[in-house]
Amino acid sequence: MPAAPRSSEDGKFDRLVYERVRLGIMSALAVNEQLSFNELKALFDVSDGNLSAHARKLEEAGYIVCSKFFAGRRPKSEYRLTPVGRKALYRYLEHIEAVIRATRRA
């Protein structure tokens, strides 16, 4: 069972989403129904271990799900954004937009 998301509806800044690769993974999955491990790796130019670690953190939070299967004899992993993950991403983006608006007013 996934851990509870690190940011609740209270509007607190979600540090889990903040990191560049994790934000990239969630953003890419927000505009694609699913992406494979290799597609994500190519998008962000990261090592297998780095991508795996970031994806695992997002999975543990319940923000993404991973389906593992074989295509022929080759293992394949595909990722999807969960409704909880989409909500967390939108909360994060709203927070950043509010910061930008406040900065422009200053």
Query: What's the pLDDT score for residue 8?
Result: 44
Query: What's the pLDDT score for residue 15?
Result: 86
Q: What is the mean pLDDT of residues 21-37?
A: 97
Summary count for the chain: helices (H), strands (E): 5, 3
Q: What is the set of domains in the chain, with CATH numbers?
A: 15-105 (1.10.10.10)
Q: Angle at which helices 48-60 and 37-44 pack, to 10 degrees?
A: 110
Token pair listed for 45? 């130019």
- Sequence-distant (6+) residues with CB within 8 A of 52 are none
Sort 52 into a burial class: Cβ within 10 Å, 0-12 / 13-18 / 19+. Answer: middle
pLDDT in tens, 51-85: 999 999 999 999 999 999 998 999 999 999 999 99
